[in-house]
A and B are shown apart, each in its own frame.
Chain A
């Protein structure tokens, strides 16, 4: 399968020179295999992905797309009103997200598109849209993809995804806070906080178990994390720990802080890479526009 990063930034899109190299669009990832398209999250990066899909698919034959939404914070849904295939007859879109008691994903996406927020109401979109609720831990088969989802520790209701296809495994673990301090996930059944923190950490390991590719929320440095534990994000150090315990092969720093300049990000990567010499996995940075081929034999950057 092939993976492409369309948006790698966290919190808010950044259209400023300090992020030109790694990119300023918010979260969006495309995974393709055997003619099937899977999209994870619909941050601002999904606008350009939508344009490319329109250019590639010009005939009247209906193309099915699958969108997995990790949660409803803006930076993961704000591109959806600008995803052109949703407004074309020759596309069909299935949207999957974790069940939430406080309003389903359809009403949340619709809510962002109704007046007073944008001009194109949901019910006027031309592609057939279907919404599906997932249960925590569900397994799903779509074309060549086997998809698992697990709940993560992040304010509100958030899940990560594990995608298996073509003997390769991609784990999407964003947005997530470490389990060592605060329980941020909401609406969990009764139980002790320490129990849920442990469960949610186990979920990270289930997602990343032996994966070829772990895409991890590395929004914070440890200094920033100490001041903003309640924001619900992790550090590269946390990603390294999970990757090591899960026996995964490649860790991608992702969901970059809007303040983080290209130089700082490259510096962080170098620093951690030096510390990881001799480790059984590689550390990389997710960069907008980069594609990778992922199969059982390894991970290759596409030219």
Chain B
């Protein structure tokens, strides 16, 4: 698996220069599987730039798979601004789970209502652009290209859920856990431990500093301490701190990484453009 970070910023795009090194695009991670097929996690603004790159590679024989953690705007706002979605001949399979009593499709379409979107609901029209299929995932694994993909519902505080993912491909494991908040710490979240068990790379929400957490309970995010603790509990080898707060500048992220104690797990802050071969 080859993993590339296209967007690492949480909540809102930050184009200002003090965020330029780690990057200001909202979440999107691309994985090229062993058989060459494309698996994508989340479709924030990074999705626009990723899919421009995919377009430049020419026609795709196999469908592009997109796994969504949830439907907050920063995780789906790249979809209508992805040129690939407008090109006939491409096939895009969107995976995820509904929430708050709505199906995944309803949540995506709600965001693209005409009042908000000049091209409403375009991607479900057969006569326009890429062919899109939306599938709700259960607990059983599904096959995507050469990989086995598993989804679990994870807590976003006490009252909401998001979807986390585990990908196994060619003997390597990637876990993608964004926008989760442990009500009682990672140790009490069996689903998260199950997804990250033995992972070669764990990508984990680390929006807040422990000092910021108290005022933001219920906002649905983790701290770097949560990320490191889950990696330890699950025996993950590497952890990428991800979904950086929009107020966190490059310098602050540098300082945060330097302040982390050395552990058996390798810890780093995800940066736009970073590529990791598992």
Chain A interface residues (CB < 8 Å from chain B): 9, 11-17, 19-20, 23-25, 44, 47-48, 72-74, 77-79, 81-82, 100, 102-103, 108, 111-112, 115-120, 155-156, 231-232, 258
Do A15 and B116 touch across chains, with their CB atoms under 8 A apart?
Answer: no
Do A117 and B116 touch across chains, with their CB atoms under 8 A apart?
Answer: no
Do A120 and B219 touch across chains, with their CB atoms under 8 A apart?
Answer: yes
- Chain A residues lying within 8 Å of B23, measured Cβ to Cβ, are 15
Asked whether B24 is an interface residue with its Cβ less than 8 Å from the other chain, the reply is yes
Q: How far is the CB of A221 from chain B (nearest CB, A)?
A: 17
| Interface residue SS majority, chain A | loop
| Interface residue SS majority, chain B | loop
Asked whether B249 is an interface residue with its Cβ less than 8 Å from the other chain, the reply is no
- Please report the C-alpha to C-alpha distance between residue A138 and residue B71 in the assembled complex, in whole angstroms: 38
Indicate whether A79 sits within 8 Å of B12 (C-beta atoms), given known contacts A112-B116, A155-B118.
yes
Do A19 and B70 touch across chains, with their CB atoms under 8 A apart?
Answer: no
Do A78 and B12 touch across chains, with their CB atoms under 8 A apart?
Answer: yes
Asked whether B11 is an interface residue with its Cβ less than 8 Å from the other chain, the reply is yes
Do A108 and B71 touch across chains, with their CB atoms under 8 A apart?
Answer: no
- Chain A residues lying within 8 Å of B9, measured Cβ to Cβ, are 15
Some 25 contacts from A to B, beta carbons below 8 A apart, are A12-B48, A13-B15, A14-B13, A15-B15, A15-B20, A15-B45, A16-B49, A19-B15, A25-B13, A44-B14, A44-B15, A47-B12, A47-B246, A72-B115, A78-B73, A81-B12, A103-B115, A108-B115, A116-B71, A116-B100, A116-B107, A117-B72, A118-B11, A156-B115, A232-B118
Interface residues in B220-263 by Cβ distance below 8 A to A read: 220, 246
Given contacts A72-B115, A74-B116, 10 further A-B contacts (CB under 8 A): A14-B15, A16-B15, A17-B20, A23-B15, A44-B12, A81-B12, A103-B115, A116-B71, A116-B72, A120-B219
- Chain A residues lying within 8 Å of B160, measured Cβ to Cβ, are 115
- Please report the C-alpha to C-alpha distance between residue A25 and residue B11 in the assembled complex, in whole angstroms: 14
Do A119 and B220 touch across chains, with their CB atoms under 8 A apart?
Answer: yes
Chain B interface residues (CB < 8 Å from chain A): 9, 11-17, 19-20, 23-25, 45, 48-49, 70-73, 77-78, 81, 99-100, 102, 107, 110-111, 114-118, 156, 160, 218-220, 246
Do A116 and B77 touch across chains, with their CB atoms under 8 A apart?
Answer: no
Q: How far is the CB of A98 from chain B (nearest CB, A)?
A: 12
- Please report the C-alpha to C-alpha distance between residue A12 and residue B115 in the assembled complex, in whole angstroms: 16
Q: How far is the CB of A261 from chain B (nearest CB, A)?
A: 14
Do A24 and B115 touch across chains, with their CB atoms under 8 A apart?
Answer: no
- Please report the C-alpha to C-alpha distance between residue A44 and residue B117 in the assembled complex, in whole angstroms: 16
Do A24 and B72 touch across chains, with their CB atoms under 8 A apart?
Answer: no
A-B contact count (CB 8 A): 108
Indicate whether A15 sits within 8 Å of B72 (C-beta atoms), given known contacts A116-B107, A156-B114.
no
Q: How far is the CB of A277 from chain B (nearest CB, A)?
A: 34
Counting chain A CB atoms within 10 Å of each CB, the highest count among B48, B72, B114, B115 belongs to B115
- Please report the C-alpha to C-alpha distance between residue A100 and residue B17 in the assembled complex, in whole angstroms: 38
Residue of B nearest to A79 (CB): B12
B45's contact among A12, A17, A48, A231, by CB below 8 Å, is which?
Answer: A12
- Please report the C-alpha to C-alpha distance between residue A9 and residue B81 in the assembled complex, in whole angstroms: 14
Do B116 and A44 touch across chains, with their CB atoms under 8 A apart?
Answer: no
- Chain B residues lying within 8 Å of A232, measured Cβ to Cβ, are 118
Q: How far is the CB of A168 from chain B (nearest CB, A)?
A: 29
Do B81 and A12 touch across chains, with their CB atoms under 8 A apart?
Answer: yes
- Please report the C-alpha to C-alpha distance between residue A11 and residue B119 in the assembled complex, in whole angstroms: 11
Q: How far is the CB of B157 from chain A (nearest CB, A)?
A: 8
Do B15 and A115 touch across chains, with their CB atoms under 8 A apart?
Answer: no
Q: How far is the CB of A78 from chain B (nearest CB, A)?
A: 7
- Please report the C-alpha to C-alpha distance between residue A25 and residue B16 in the assembled complex, in whole angstroms: 8
Do A82 and B246 touch across chains, with their CB atoms under 8 A apart?
Answer: yes
Residue of B nearest to A233 (CB): B118
